[in-house]
Structures are given as structure tokens and as C-alpha cells.
Amino acid sequence: MTSVHAGEQLDHYRIEELVARSGMASIFRATDLRTGRQVAIKIPHPDVEADPVLYDRFKREAEIGESLNHPGVMKVLPDGGKSSIYMPMEWVNGRLLRQIVREQRLLPPERAVQIAIAICDALDYIHRNGVVHRDLKPENIMVDDQDNVKLIDFGIAGQAGARRLTFGKLSQVMGTADYISPEQVKGKRGDGRSDIYALGVMLYEMLTGKTPFTGSNPFLVMNDRLLNNPIPPRELNSAISPQLQEVIYRAIEREPHNRYSTANEFAWDLEHLDEVGVADRPELREWKKRRTPWLNRILFYVAMALIPILVFGLLLYIARHG
């Protein structure tokens, strides 16, 4: 598929307008001429079609979308009569969570919690069906006027039992720097707890107007996540309760085994904040201490330099006292 324009027909779909474009595909609003319903059509860019790995990823995304059936997940519509490569999907009314956060900067805690609970419900469903999103971020969450949500864009999702696909581009392997989990930064595939981490970051952002880890480029952002603690949310927004702050910390624990093990556990705490115990966390006291990769590197080289000296000293001691 080289190009599609408004007014053209693609099989039984009439293309209405381009609504979004990503690194791998373009999404159009279209009309299904058989039913008269609006749909979304996702069409891969030509270079995706030409790349076997990216093409396999696109097909897997379609397969995952067709297998899932939940009100919080965008549905891919099965259509076996396509004349070319594209993905028909349900049309979702609403706005991206990114637009909402950008416009409002700080969401009221009650609204942020309700949106997070809705996302937890969708995550619990996909995780129980063997799917991990792996690129959860505000750009991939649709929110309607009643704050119902839809998870969208399963382009780098993982599926239980599926073979692992390898990519040449960092962003396609790992997700988005601001939301990627520490284990993914380290090159691991990640599981449902990686999505829980990303949701914890989004909840932090909805409540404070900023993401917990920063840097002048994606690599420094990811490194900050491995080395430092974020500014406590209550330092940025006093409307956040100690219990809600504790829930955020539980979701963004650096080690996966310390996080919520399921999205359902995450949702339960959000729904019962008055029952959440608040831990005496060192992160609340030590967040101003900042470590950098340069300091780690210097300490590494100092340690390496000291090894020969220590070995020489040990040999000298043995020689004198042997």
C-alpha cells in the first residue's frame, strides 16, 4: 500500500480522513460501506511491509487485537477479504489521555484514580489472556466523556507462547523512555508487572504534571530510573494523600517482585485507599541524593585501579610473613 487519500475506497471501506501517524503506520477514519458504521483503518508504511520482522509484528498486533474482547481494549475487526495489508478497528470516540494531561496539567486525585482503576481493569483482562502491552503511555490510552478508557496500539505487545521478534530500533524493542520499566531498560522482555510500572508512572504524571524520571535524552531518562528516586508526589501536589502516594511507590518499585503482582491488586488498593498502610520509605528521605552514570563510571575505574595495588600489597604481606 503506497498511499491512501480521503475520498478513496479501500475494499468496502471509504476513507474519510487521516487521524494519526506513527513510525510504523497511518490511521484513517473510514466508513464501512456494508454497515454504514465508522471504523479506524491502520495501514502500515511501505518500509514496514518490506521488512519481514516489522511485517510479522504488524500481523501479530492484528491477531492479538482480534483475540481480545473487552470494553477497555480497542477491538480489531476480523476481515478475511482484504485486498492489501491493513487493519480495520472499531472507531473510538474520545481523546488521548496525553491531550487531557497536557490541557489540565494536574488532574484532581479522584479523577486520576478513577482513570487508573479503569486502566487496571483492562490490563487485568489482557494479562489474564496472555498479553502484555509493553508500551503503555498516555498516547496509547483513549478516554471518553465519561472517563471510560480504551487501550490502543498493541504494536510491540508480547503474547504468551509467541516467538520473540527482534528489532533494530531501540524504541521498537523497548517502548517509550518515560514509561519503560527498569527490567526493560536492562534488556529483559518484561511481563504484566512492566505494564503496572508504566501505569504507576502515568498516575504520578496525572497527579503532578510531570513524569518521575528526567534527562536531556531518552538514555539519561532510563538511566535516572535505574539510579535515583523520584521527587515524592506529595512534594509536588499536596492534594495527594499519603496513602495514594504509597500506592504510586508500590507500582513503580524498581524490582518487579516488589511491585503489585497483578493489575487487580493495584486496583484494589486504589479503590480502598483508606486501608492502605503507609511505609516508612527511604525514598521519601533520600530523593535529593542524585547519582549519575559518570559517578558510577568513575567509581568503577577507581575500583579497577585499586585491584593491582591490593594484590601487590597482599603478595608483599605474604612474602614478609610467609
CA gap 211, 197 in Å, rounded: 12
Hey, what amino acid is at 44?
A: P
Please name the residues in contact with 243: beta carbons below 8 A apart, sequence gap of 6 or more: 273, 274, 276, 278
Q: Dmax of the chain from CA atoms?
A: 94
Hey, what amino acid is at 91?
A: W
Determine the angle formed by the axes of helices 263-271 and 242-251, rounding to 10 degrees.
180
CA gap 105, 187 in Å, rounded: 32
CA gap 143, 140 in Å, rounded: 10
Helix (H, G, I), strand (E, B) or coil at 95: strand
Catalytic position from the list 32, 124, 135, 178: 135
| Residue 283 CB neighbour total at 10 angstroms | 15
Q: Grid coordinates standing for 199? A: 501505569
Q: Grid coordinates standing for 174? A: 523497548
| Residue 110 CB neighbour total at 10 angstroms | 9
CA gap 315, 64 in Å, rounded: 62
CA gap 135, 154 in Å, rounded: 8
CA gap 145, 135 in Å, rounded: 24
145 is catalytic: no
CA gap 322, 309 in Å, rounded: 19
**Catalytic residue list:** 135
